[in-house]
Structure 1
Amino acid sequence: MAEVATSARPDQLLLVIDPVARRADGESVRIAKDVLSAGAAHTKVCLPDGPEEFARALRRRGSRRPVLVGDDRALLRAVTLLHRHRELAGCTLSLVPVGPVLGLARSLGVPTGAVAAARAVLEGAERRLDLLVDDSDGVVLGTVGIPPAPRRDPEPDPEPDPGPDGPVGGTRPWLRTCQSLVRTLAHPRPVRTGPAPGAGPARLRVEVDGVTLVDLDQPVEAVSLTPGAAGAAQVEVRPLSVGAEASPLTASGRAVTVSGAHFRYRADAVESGPVGTRTWTVRAGAWGLTLPAR
């Protein structure tokens, strides 16, 4: 992880409020909007209804500093868009975490309270962070897990957003409860009784900077990769234990290749695959995020 102590200025902000955040916690969205509007010289608010409007808002940001109000998936979507348009190096992102999937935001050090997060946007500092980029031009901000762990975060309810004229995400609590009950009775969610698809031992070859860490003849229970420090990925392989628990194998390097039988993996909040091989490469200090000043 590379850091740059560049102070973020409360200047002109582009506040992009993700629809999932508006549905999940309208009160936190309102608080963040009020704090940011009061502290910045000028704030433009954008309420995209879907990925295309989200992308259009970022492309038309001009000199405004983008502030995302949303969860991990909104942050990942923004970084992916900027990376693919080769604009990531020149754009510092800020995040007010609101929504059901916030594990990545917490691990990056973003305050999870609306007031604290909004103040960090206004008073914090840009920190340059490493990025994992795979051979299909996908990006990873946090962790790659093989096989993908079962999702623990609740999915947002797919109810329509009332728009800017009503309360932000403003369904009254009693009506929200009734709507949720009706949806549950009409469309009950299946109960999983077995292991997650793709779980269990796998035979994979893991290479770090061209050196084999584990080969196909040794079954593994799990593999994980995370952006580490100084432009290196941290890799951990857990071999299948027989009898006594096997110690994990660890390594660090700039490029990590996993190959073998077709496998699925989770990168941040997104599950991908199956693939037969995938290479992740570290880009040191590739993106900037506003975090509380140290």
Structure 2
Amino acid sequence: MLLDTASLYFRAYYGVPDSVKAPDGTPVNAVRGLLDFIARLVQDHRPDDLVACMDADWRPHWRVALIPSYKAHRVAVETPEGPDEEEVPDTLSPQVPIIEDVLDALGIARVGVAGYEADDVIGALAARAAGPVDIVTGDRDLYQLIDDARRVRVLYPLKGVGTLQVADEVWLRGKYGVGGAGYADLALLRGDPSDGLPGVSGIGEKTAAKLLDAYGDLAGILAAVADPASKLTPAQRKRLDEARDYLAVAPKVVRVARDVPLPAFEPALPREPSDPAALGELAGQWGLGGSLRRLLDTLKA
């Protein structure tokens, strides 16, 4: 089980009241909410391995160099020599280091790689996994990793993590008209304002799906643009031709990187905390209470 950790703690932050606080008054709603999410996921799905995948760089410069608008509207502070700072609610950002410390003390694998997003870490881990993989994320971008042949699916939270959309290729084709391999091409043609991806003017989701059904993939669509005998409408041909510069770089931006240099780590789900003393201190300092106890009980079971 691969967790898109930021996606989940953002959901926890907005789903748990900020009146949930540590003894010193610091909000810990995202921390406690995430612990409850993990407990429920472990209880319901019984994974052998669990990895909390992290954004070491939520907006990699190599992606921005290709499409400058990539996530630009979410930048709080630009830092030319390091990762840009993301605009995050004031009461959430202090909770992220607490989350990291608690996961480490529990012994739950936490993996982030400099220069890459959590999506890339998830893509690399999914590509290397021998067995079935469940990816837990609220980010549709990761639908591109769905692969029934390799038993890779996405669990998309609809309400907390107790109600999940199990997204496999049958569901994906029914919803979007493409399989996992085609989803990235659909996304880059359609565009995504939330990620600052312009897409191709006049090509929405349904049109993109029809083009991919007719021509197979982005390369096939571009070949059709150059083929006077293809059945593209004049407007589609014009818009796709005008978007060639964007379409030349968008695949590298939209597709997850699978060649991420992953560090050594232990993915096995722990039965007992790896550092009980540190975990006890964190529990007391931050008032983790029932959320931590429920997770520990679930791990033991």
TM-score range, shorter chain: 0.3 to 0.5
TM-score (norm 1): 0.35
Structure with the largest fraction of helix: 2
Structure with the largest fraction of strand: 1
